[in-house]
Chains A and B, each alone.
Chain A
Amino acid sequence: MNKIIALAGVVIKELYRRKDFYVLFVLTALLTVAAGAVNFFHDDKIVRYVKDICLLLIWVSALVIAIVTTARQIPAEREARTIFPLLAKPVSRGQVIAGKFLGCWLATGVALLVFYFFFAVITGSREHLWPWAVYFQAAWMQWVMLAIVIAMVVLGSIYFAAPSSTSTISFIVVVGILGIGSHLKVIALQQPEPMQFILTAIYFLMPHLEWFDLRDFVVYDQSLVSWSALALATGYAAVWTGIFLMLAWLGFRRKNLTT
C-alpha cells in the first residue's frame, strides 16, 4: 500500500506543478465572475444562471483535468523510460496501475475541492445561502463518477497508441454517456433488429455516469438526494472502477514495454 501511496503522491505533485489546473481554474473563475456581473432588468437577486454556468464549467474543467492527466501517466513513463527503474524498485505492474489511478483520483479531488469552494463563495455571496449538504452530495457524486472515468482512461492508456487518442476517445465516450445514457433504451426501441438488441445490451452494460450529475439539484435548490441512493451509487461506481482497473491490469501485465 505504501508503494501505491508513494506513486500517487508523485502524480499529485505533478498536477500542481503543471499549469492545467491553474489555467482551468482561472478561466472558470473569470467566466463565472463575468456572468455574475451582468445585470438583468436591474434585479440583483437573480442567481441560478450563475450557478448553472459555474457548475457547467466545473464539470468541463474536472473532466479535462481527470482525462488529460490520466491519459499521459503510463505513456509518459514509457516514453521517458522511467517505467523500468520504477518496476525495478520493486513495484509490481498492478501497483503501478493502482498508484497512477489513486494519484489522478486524489489530484482531481483536490481540484474539485478548490472549484466547489469557489462556487460556494460566489453563489453564497449573491444568495446568502450555503446549503453545504447539497454541495457535498454534488461534489461527492462528481468525484465518484470521476473515479470511473479515470479508471476507464487508465485502461485506454494501456491499449491506445498515444495520450491524445486516449483523451479524445475518452471524451467522446464520457460525453456520449452523459448526453444519451439514460435515453439509450428509448432510442433502442425505435430501431430495427439487430440494432435494437445491440443498443439495449449497451444500455445495460455501460456505466451510467449520468446518475452522478446532481447539478440540477444545486441549481434549482432541490432537497437532498436520499443518502441510501447515494451510497448505492457510490457502490456502483466502485464496482465499475474495479472492473476497469482489473482490465487495465490484465492488459498491462502482458504489455511489452520496450516497443
Chain B
Amino acid sequence: MKASPLLLLTALLALAFTLASSLVTQADGWSRRDKSDNIFGMMFGDGRKLFANQFFTMADVYFHSGYYPSIYDRGGKDSEIVETSHGHTDTPDDEIKEDFFGKPKDWVDAFGRHFRIVSHTHLDRGTEREILPWLRLAADLDPQKTETYTVGAFFLSEHLHQTNEAEAFLREGLRNNPDNCEILFALGRLYNESAHDITRARNVWELGVRKFLLLPSADQKENKIVFDELAVNLARLEDKAGNYGQAINWFHAAQRVSPDPGALQQQIDVLQKKLDALVPVVPGKLY
C-alpha cells in the first residue's frame, strides 16, 4: 500500500491538532512550571535567585554611581541602599571606612585610577530613580527577597514621592510573602509618613506584630529588629494620637528586644508624665 505524502502530511497535522486540543487542558498540571508566576521562574528555576542578588547589588552600584568594590577590593560590604532605607546616613568615619581603594599600590594602579570612578557619592535630587530597574528585575527573579520591596518602596516614596507606586510595590511583595512583618512595617510607614493615614498605619503595624508573634521562636530572634521598629513606631503613633497609655505599652514591648532599652525608658518616663498630667474629668454638680 502506497500512501501519498500529501495525504500523510494532512493526517499527521490533523492528529497533532486533535492531540493538542485534547491535551492542552491537562498539560498545565503536568509540571511545576505553572507555579512560576513569571518568565524568569520558567527559564531559570531556583537559579534565578543568584541573578536576583546580582541585580540587587547592581542597584547598590548605581546608587554609588559606579564607585563600588569588586570582589577583589573588599569582601562583605553591606548594601548601602538597605542601610539608607533604614534611615542610616554616612558619617565621616563611614566615608573613611568605605575608601576601599586605599592608596595606589603601584604606578599601574595609580595611573589606572584616572579611568575609574574614585569618589564616593550617592544618587540624589531624583536621580535615585536609576536604581529602580534593577530592583524591579530582582523582585521578578526572586519574589521572596523582601528587602527588594522595602528598599524599592522607600526610594519611591521618600525620594521620588511616588506613593502610589511604592504602595503597589509593597502590596506585590505582600502577595508574594503574605506573612512578612518587614513588608508590613514598610507599608505602615508609608501610610503614616507619606499618606498621613494613621488608622491604616496602626492597623498594618498591629497586623505586623501579630504576624511576628506567630513566627517560630528562632525566627523571632532573627527578626527582633523588625519587632523593635514595629513596636517603637506604634508607640510614637499612639503618642501622637494622644493614647499615652497605649504608647507606654508599646514602648514596654519594644524594650524586650531593643538593643538600648534605657533610651526607651526615658521616653516611657516622658509619656508617664504626660499621662499623669491629664486631669481626670470629674462630673460636677448640676444643681
Q: Hey, which bits of chain A sit against chain B, CB under 8 A?
A: 38, 40-43, 45-49, 141, 180, 182-183, 185-187, 203-204, 208, 210-214, 216-217, 219-222, 225-226, 229, 232-233
Residues of chain A within 8 A of B46, CB atoms compared:
none
Residues of chain A within 8 A of B115, CB atoms compared:
141, 210-214, 225, 229, 233
B130:A49 contact, CB within 8 angstroms: yes
Residues of chain B within 8 A of A45, CB atoms compared:
126, 129
Which residues of chain B in 91-108 are interfacial with respect to chain A, using CB atoms and an 8 Å cutoff?
105-106, 108
B111 at interface by CB-CB < 8 Å: yes
A185:B66 contact, CB within 8 angstroms: no
- With beta carbons under 8 angstroms apart, the residue of B112, B126, B162, B169 that contacts A210 is B112
By beta carbon, the residue of chain A nearest B116 is A216
A-B contact pairs, 21 of them (CB 8 A): A40-B132, A41-B156, A41-B165, A42-B162, A42-B165, A45-B126, A45-B129, A48-B130, A49-B130, A49-B134, A141-B115, A182-B109, A182-B112, A185-B105, A185-B108, A185-B109, A186-B72, A211-B114, A216-B116, A222-B65, A226-B114
Known: A49-B133, A222-B65. A208 touches B112 (CB 8 A): yes
A46:B169 contact, CB within 8 angstroms: no
Say which size band chain B's interface belongs to.
20 to 34
By beta carbon, the residue of chain A nearest B155 is A41
Bound together, the chains give a CA A55 to CA B222 distance in angstroms of 42
Known: A40-B133, A49-B130. A220 touches B109 (CB 8 A): no
The 7 A-B pairs at the shortest CB distance, nearest first, are namely A229-B114, A183-B72, A220-B65, A216-B66, A48-B130, A49-B133, A41-B165
B253 at interface by CB-CB < 8 Å: no
Bound together, the chains give a CA A38 to CA B62 distance in angstroms of 18
A217:B117 contact, CB within 8 angstroms: yes
Bound together, the chains give a CA A160 to CA B281 distance in angstroms of 98
Q: How far is the CB of A43 from chain B (nearest CB, A)?
A: 5
B266 at interface by CB-CB < 8 Å: no
By beta carbon, the residue of chain A nearest B62 is A48
Bound together, the chains give a CA A41 to CA B169 distance in angstroms of 9
Residues of chain B within 8 A of A182, CB atoms compared:
108-109, 112, 116
- One digit per residue, 1 when the CB lies within 8 angstroms of any chain A CB and 0 when it does not, for chain B 34-77 equals 00000000000000000000000000001001100010110000
B133:A46 contact, CB within 8 angstroms: yes
